[in-house]
């Protein structure tokens, strides 16, 4: 089976991308990272891509006018590279999903959707909100991306405890460890054609 060609969209440090590159290098992720698209010139993740000889592209928000024009720019880059799946990895821009990429864009959110998600919930803000609310569980969610923030069909979730002594940083670390396992597993399941979608319901036949 030919590896699934993916584009990875980044905006920041790139820990998600780094983890995917490591899984692929170990032969545990049957994908070809065809391109890494960054919304920032100074995104740390760009260096991980260059070190792994992955082509990179910039899609600066300021270079495109309305959200439609920006989304077109991103997805035209993906089409140019014949990408079958777009993987958001710490990507903070809102994009509109064109019909030919319906259920072909995935994201990982560092909480259990539908809690602590939506506009403004990203990075450390999520973990701070979980702790302030007094939740006893948090975790991460892999989902397909639609045109609403953190809303598309859920592919997989994994949970962890929130402890009394947790800080946003300690919770981020615990959730991050789950993310490093769950995201590659979910992407591998898609690459192996083990996932079907019926409306909001995603059926996963096998994960790693």
Known catalytic residues are 109
We find the least distance from the C-beta atom of residue 131 to ligand GRF, in angstroms, to be 15
Task: Pick between residue 14 and residue 84 the one whose CB is nearest to ligand GRF.
Answer: 14
We find the least distance from the C-beta atom of residue 91 to ligand GRF, in angstroms, to be 7
CA distances from 60 to 21, 38, 76, 108 (A): 23, 8, 14, 22
Task: Pick between residue 55 and residue 123 the one whose CB is nearest to ligand GRF.
Answer: 123
Task: Pick between residue 24 and residue 109 the one whose CB is nearest to ligand GRF.
Answer: 109
What residues line the site for ligand GRF (CB under 6 A)? 10, 12-16, 45, 89-90, 108-110, 123, 179
What is the secondary structure of 141-198 as a DSSP string?
EEEE--SSTT-SPEEEEEEEE--TT--HHHHHHHHHHHHHHHHHHHHHHHHTT-EEEE
């Amino acid at each position: 089976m030919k590896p699934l060609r993916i584009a990875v969209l980044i905006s920041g440090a790139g820990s998600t991308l780094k983890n995917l590159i490591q899984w692929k290098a170990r032969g545990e992720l049957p994908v070809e990272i065809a391109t890494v698209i960054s919304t920032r010139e100074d995104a740390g993740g760009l260096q991980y891509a260059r070190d792994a000889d992955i082509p990179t592209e910039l899609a600066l928000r300021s270079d495109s006018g309305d959200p439609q024009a920006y989304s077109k720019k991103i997805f035209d880059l993906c089409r140019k590279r014949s990408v079958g799946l777009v993987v958001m990895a710490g990507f903070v821009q809102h994009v509109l999903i064109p019909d030919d990429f319906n259920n072909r864009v995935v994201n990982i959110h560092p909480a259990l959707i539908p809690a602590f998600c939506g506009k403004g919930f990203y990075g450390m803000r999520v973990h701070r909100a979980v702790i302030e609310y007094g939740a006893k569980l948090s975790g991460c969610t892999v989902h397909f991306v639609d045109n609403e923030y953190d809303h598309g069909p859920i592919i997989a979730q994994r949970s962890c405890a929130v402890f009394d002594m947790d800080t946003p940083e300690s919770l981020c670390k615990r959730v991050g460890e789950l993310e490093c396992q769950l995201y590659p597993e979910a992407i591998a399941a898609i690459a192996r054609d083990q996932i079907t979608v019926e409306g909001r319901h995603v059926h996963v036949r096998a994960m790693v």
